[in-house]
Structure 1
Amino acid sequence: MSFFNPFRPFPPLFSPSFGQDKKAQELYAQSIKLFGERKAGEAIPFMEQAVKQDPAFTDAYLKLGQLYEFTRRYDPAIAAYRNAIRLQPDNPSSGGAYQALSTILLRLGRYVEALPYLEKFQTLFPSQSPQAKRVARQLETARFGQEAMQHPQAVDPKPLSSVLQTTPSQYFPVLTADEQTLVFTALKPEGDEDLMTATFNGETWSPPVSLASSINTPENEGTASLSADGYMLVFTACQGRKGYGSCDLYVSRKTGTEWSAPENLGPTINTRFYESQPALSADGRQLYFVSDRPGGKGHRDIWRSEFGQDGTWSEPVNLGEPVNTSLNEASPFIHPNGQSLFFASDGHVGMGGYDLFVADNGPSGWSMPTNLGYPINNSEDQASLFVSANGKRAYYSYEEQKDGISQKSRLYTFDLPEPLRDRVKPVSYLKGIVADAKTQKPLAATVELIDLKTNQVVSRVQADSQTGQYTAVLPSGGEYALYVSVPGYLFKSLSFDYTQKTIGDGLSLRVPLEPVISGSTANETLNNLFFETGRYDLAEKSRTELDRLAAFLQTNPTVTIEIAGHTDDVGDAAANLTLSQKRAQAVVAYLTKAGITPNRIRAVGYGKTRPLAPNTSDENRRLNRRIQWRVI
């Protein structure tokens, strides 16, 4: 971060006055003349001689501080401003020295040193004046920074891999849910920004390559966001493409290994204003982004849009308070849990510049953002953060600084400290391949996750049409049904109970789908039907499964099916046979009530006679207690 723009004129912070010594005045004037000629380095010795000649020359100390600061010599600048304040500590004309000194100290993270100067500076203004409010904000920063550094988070960042460092800088890392595919923005020597990708094989990262020739151009592309499965990408381009404003958002989708030609997200998302820094939800159906369009709370705010069933993005909604402030928010990242929003802001109280925060979306709206603390945040600008699906790891870029100037940016990772890990509701993921059970041909299946308590779709993703690959996020804290379906095939239902379990690192599951063939012996288990022990009454949360089966029968009006009930070997065999028959009949009754003609459904009870596994363990017995269906 640079403190001053070297191309702006000398900052007229202080009105000139002159010391009593004529020689000091001449030296002062010569220094000002040289700086006016853009010769800052030559101007400094004359101003240094001026304060030596007249140690009470307050204005010379002020200008000397500015010259040092302009040439990025911060320690001498601090000393010069301190001398100016020492000479006239109570004079309002020293306000510029207080302002400059405290700003440097805050930006260097020297909060303890800044506090007494800010406290004195505040007394020079009426309590409700704009100047006093600005100083009060700086005081908040100094006190927060001091407290944060006294209670650091247990964080040990490490470079992600030297293999990735093929360009002068890398930043804005995003990953797939399994953390095996990485996309980041790379700054090339010629100044072009491109999107690069690398893969992780469990031990090492591959050398990065251009994401796609259809995406990268001689102009800049950057700040990308990936869906959890890595098959949908939204990125920012600010010139070189036909767009609507200064920066626009574009989308590309991957089929097999090829990315489609990017498409502008259109005038609902993009305007004549600034749109950038996208963040996709895990299933790609929510988009968060930054814009300075009218209707916000500050200059740049975070907005959100939903992807509808009609294939269009909804009118973006401002997240409002308490996330957005009267200043700037940046680089949102919505965690795969769909609730935790990480973002940068210079409007919330932090350690100076942009800090990273997290807020959670609940029934009553967004929570008050929490600062991620030191050393994740420091006195420099923090750009963005990506947190893994399981909440264990974080990825970000760190800018190495020299004399306040960014030298290079590298990708880093660290284990999320316990206080933050407890805050992030972790998720797991299920990935694999969907294929025809008979031919092994990959299938472009729809994979839907449904909350059994609410019967609401939590996420919906598509398996790749060329490879059959899919990735679905599995949230914690509930019971979920996962449905894999393709027209012309029996749907597959899977069950996941995460009400008590600790989320793992992910599951891999190949999903073979059986084609709809009359008289086939292939059957599917209805894994989301629930009965009390020894009873045949269907639990309310079974509705999701039964509605799916009814929809299948309505879509395939010529199909007739058998509903088969099975039990384990516990209890009387005759009683088990009766129970299995009644459970199958309960399913038929539900389907009939849903409008399916009774002669299309046959109920059969097999009791314990057709186990899937030996009844030698509780887990095997659970597998054997089931309802199956097949086409007859």
Structure 2
Amino acid sequence: MYPYGLLATFNVMNRLHLVLVAVLAAHGLFGQSRLRKMPANVNHSSINNSAPFIALDGNTIVYLADVAEDNALTLNQTNKSGTNWTDPVILPRAVNNHLNYLYGFGLSPDGNILYISNAKSNGMGGYDIYACSRRGSSWAEPVNLLNPINSKLNDACPSPSADGMAFYFMRCETMTGTQADRCKLMVARKKPNGQWDEPTELPAFINTGNSQSPRIMGDGETLIFASNKLQPNKGGMDLYLTRFQNNTWTPPLALDFANTPGDDQFVSASSLGRYLLKHVPGTRVTELVELLFPAELRPKTTIKIEGQVSGPDQPGSAFVSIFDLRNNTKVFATNPNSAGQFVAYVKEGSVYDLSIEPALDNYTFYSRHFDLTKEKFSLLEKVSAKLKAAAAGDTIQLEGIGYRDLTADLDPLSAQELRRVKRLMDGNPRLNFTFELTLEPYLNDTLKISPDMTEIQRDTIRVPVSYAVDSVTTATRDSLVVKVRYHNNRTTAQAQTLRDYFTKAGVNNDRLKFSQKLLSAPLGEADKPRTRVKLIIR
């Protein structure tokens, strides 16, 4: 059962959590990398904070604080401003309603929709889920989500997926303003027409009698929830994690790094997926902190791509697609809206090819790679693509064309970019094209200082050598000396590979020209020489 009256249990929880704090400190786990406290303007020394919900974009947190009259729990909000969090503000009365299930709130991925659970008399059943749109610095009146999300029972704790295609929540047999019981986790998925399909229950090994507070992570496959009907259990409501893999959910794992002998239930995480945001008792009051996910439990980081397409009279006619270059499979496809805007999400662990192609073959295209195999990357990437009728003087950086390591052979992952270039050529039969290949860094030395220096240059030099003809006379003769240098310039052969590809595809050889640039630079340990290709339209 969920504990009623969070304030009534703070003293007991304080003692239990202080034991945890002492244990963690003894093991050196309170370093900056393991636990981070929210700043002092949020964690005020005289205010109890609890149940934080952070939007997946990491820029808005809504949480409960005992700042109202008689220390009543009230919804508060803080926003990210640069690297800092703004001073918290109490949400308006339309949101802070005495008919709310206090802990039933959530946020949309971008933080622009606040969800609450409320027992208004004109609802579908007991407690219903309502949506409030952000209006400047405040929130609009709540709107009932109606069927099929809401039911005759009690619905609360919504958690939308990053792409907006799934909506997780809990449906409970009993609920009051401060407690819920006999709950099941539900998910509704969006149909092609944009409407919600009928919600379905998660499997019985997850819904074991009282599963609550679902939180879908940014990767769309990691789900955290709370239950007091699963084992192992440290006491009360404990946190568990399950993943959607191979079209099924995995058996729940207890989050031992976050569970305590008390109740652990209301947590959240941004799509960065590095830290779990929760409340723990501090020295005097309950505070908001971030706990570092263990590597084996950490959700995959998910980045948001916001795109803007301009140029065509109808920018919504363009085609946006993303390929996972790890297996060359399409993971996203859409058309921009009528204003040319689109949003996409991709997960860490692969390199992605994003392309924006026009409906007309004679228009230019846009492409860009996102390498999410590195340790650090931004949660938000913005793409601005201007598509236009191709004309002499236009240039396109062909990020999608690459070569196999240490060779002049085209990388198979270049297939999508090569297809786009061929389409552009076919759509503009009167235009010609120059491929500019730039190698950086260009390496050239008498010693093979890098494995990339596969090319050998041999120069024969005549060196005059004096010799004695006799005791009086000397003469000179030429001696041949071979000097060897190693380098990594394969651009001539790489250009020929491109020429062969397009001529075999039916492009007239007379329309193709090639040029090379060699850029020297110190080779650092992390640097990897690469040939970049630019297309110049003539």
Q: Name the TM tier (shorter chain).
A: 0.5 to 0.7
Shift in alpha-carbon separation, 1:395–1:574, aligned structure 2, 3 A: closer
Corresponding position: 1:457 with 2:331 = yes
- 1:624 Cα deviation after fit: 2.1
The structure in which a higher percent of residues are helix is 1
Aligned to 1:336: 218
Residue 614 of structure 1: which of 511, 515, 519 is its match? 519
TM-score by length of 2: 0.66
Aligned to 1:624: 532
Moved more, 260-269 or 427-436: 427-436
Amino acid of the residue matched to residue 622 of structure 1?
R
SS in 2 for 1:608: strand
Q: Which structure ranks higher in relative contact order (CA pairs < 8 Å, sequence separation ≥ 6)?
A: 2
Corresponding position: 1:226 with 2:120 = no
Residue 269 of structure 2: which of 374, 384, 387 is its match? 387
Aligned to 2:88: 208
Residue 350 of structure 2: which of 470, 478, 487 is its match? 478
Aligned to 1:309: 192
Aligned to 2:38: 160
Shift in alpha-carbon separation, 1:222–1:328, aligned structure 2, 3 A: closer
Amino acid of the residue matched to residue 579 of structure 1?
T
**Contact 2:50/2:288 (CA < 8 Å) preserved in 1?**
no
- 1:355 Cα deviation after fit: 0.5
CA distance in 2, matches of 1:392, 1:624: 33
CA distance in 2, matches of 1:204, 1:573: 48
Aligned to 2:378: 506
Aligned to 1:273: 153
SS in 1 for 2:41: helix
**Contact 2:127/2:155 (CA < 8 Å) preserved in 1?**
yes
Amino acid of the residue matched to residue 495 of structure 1?
H
Aligned to 1:429: 303
Amino acid of the residue matched to residue 38 of structure 2?
L
Residue 241 of structure 2: which of 346, 358, 363 is its match? 358
Shift in alpha-carbon separation, 1:607–1:434, aligned structure 2, 3 A: same
Corresponding position: 1:493 with 2:372 = no
CA distance in 1, matches of 2:173, 2:420: 43
CA distance in 1, matches of 2:409, 2:352: 22
Amino acid of the residue matched to residue 315 of structure 1?
E
SS in 1 for 2:271: coil
CA distance in 2, matches of 1:616, 1:181: 43
CA distance in 2, matches of 1:582, 1:548: 17
**Contact 2:119/2:126 (CA < 8 Å) preserved in 1?**
yes
CA distance in 2, matches of 1:272, 1:506: 42
- 1:199 Cα deviation after fit: 2.2
CA distance in 1, matches of 2:64, 2:531: 48
**Contact 2:319/2:333 (CA < 8 Å) preserved in 1?**
no
**Contact 1:359/1:367 (CA < 8 Å) preserved in 2?**
yes
Deviations 1:335-374 (A, max 9, x none): 2122221110111020221111112221162222111126
CA distance in 2, matches of 1:446, 1:161: 44
Shift in alpha-carbon separation, 1:624–1:454, aligned structure 2, 3 A: closer
SS in 2 for 1:421: coil
- 1:578 Cα deviation after fit: 3.0
CA distance in 2, matches of 1:152, 1:412: 21
Aligned to 2:169: 289
RMSD: 5.3
Q: How does 1:241-280 map to 2 (within 5 A)?
A: 242-251=122-131, 262-280=142-160
Aligned to 1:56: none
Amino acid of the residue matched to residue 160 of structure 1?
M
**Contact 1:255/1:465 (CA < 8 Å) preserved in 2?**
no
- 1:203 Cα deviation after fit: 4.9
Corresponding position: 1:182 with 2:61 = yes
- 1:291 Cα deviation after fit: 1.1
Q: How does 1:525-540 map to 2 (within 5 A)?
A: 525-529=397-401, 531-532=403-404, 539=412
Corresponding position: 1:378 with 2:260 = yes
CA distance in 1, matches of 2:151, 2:86: 38
CA distance in 2, matches of 1:422, 1:625: 39
- 1:330 Cα deviation after fit: 0.9
SS in 2 for 1:582: helix
Amino acid of the residue matched to residue 264 of structure 1?
N
The number of aligned residues is 460
- 1:510 Cα deviation after fit: 4.9
SS in 1 for 2:296: helix
Deviations 1:398-421 (A, max 9, x none): 4789xxxxx97x44113315xx23
- 1:329 Cα deviation after fit: 0.6
Residue 412 of structure 1: which of 278, 281, 288 is its match? 288
- 1:509 Cα deviation after fit: 4.9
Identity level (%): 19
- 1:285 Cα deviation after fit: 1.9
Structure 2 stretches lacking a partner, 5+ long:
175-180, 440-487
Amino acid of the residue matched to residue 111 of structure 2?
G
SS in 1 for 2:530: helix
Shift in alpha-carbon separation, 1:578–1:550, aligned structure 2, 3 A: closer
Aligned to 1:580: 498
- 1:383 Cα deviation after fit: 2.0
Shift in alpha-carbon separation, 1:193–1:486, aligned structure 2, 3 A: farther
CA distance in 2, matches of 1:314, 1:603: 56
Amino acid of the residue matched to residue 278 of structure 2?
Y
Shift in alpha-carbon separation, 1:317–1:454, aligned structure 2, 3 A: farther
Aligned to 2:51: 172
SS in 2 for 1:197: strand
Amino acid of the residue matched to residue 273 of structure 1?
L
Amino acid of the residue matched to residue 230 of structure 1?
G
TM-score by length of 1: 0.58
**Contact 1:563/1:603 (CA < 8 Å) preserved in 2?**
no
CA distance in 2, matches of 1:353, 1:311: 39
- 1:160 Cα deviation after fit: 1.9
Deviations 1:570-625 (A, max 9, x none): 65776454333234457x66xxxxxxxx9xx999544334x5x8364786963523
Shift in alpha-carbon separation, 1:340–1:200, aligned structure 2, 3 A: same
SS in 1 for 2:251: coil
The structure in which a higher percent of residues are strand is 2
Shift in alpha-carbon separation, 1:389–1:192, aligned structure 2, 3 A: same
SS in 2 for 1:330: strand
Amino acid of the residue matched to residue 582 of structure 1?
D
Deviations 1:107-166 (A, max 9, x none): 9979xxxxxxxxxxxxxxxxxxxxxxxxxxxxxxxxxx9xx99x9994675652342368
Shift in alpha-carbon separation, 1:462–1:564, aligned structure 2, 3 A: same
- 1:386 Cα deviation after fit: 1.6
CA distance in 1, matches of 2:419, 2:140: 36
SS in 1 for 2:295: helix
Shift in alpha-carbon separation, 1:187–1:583, aligned structure 2, 3 A: farther
Amino acid of the residue matched to residue 366 of structure 2?
K
**Contact 2:212/2:226 (CA < 8 Å) preserved in 1?**
yes
SS in 2 for 1:494: strand
CA distance in 2, matches of 1:411, 1:446: 47
Structure 1 stretches lacking a partner, 5+ long:
6-70, 75-103, 111-144, 402-406, 590-597
SS in 2 for 1:282: coil
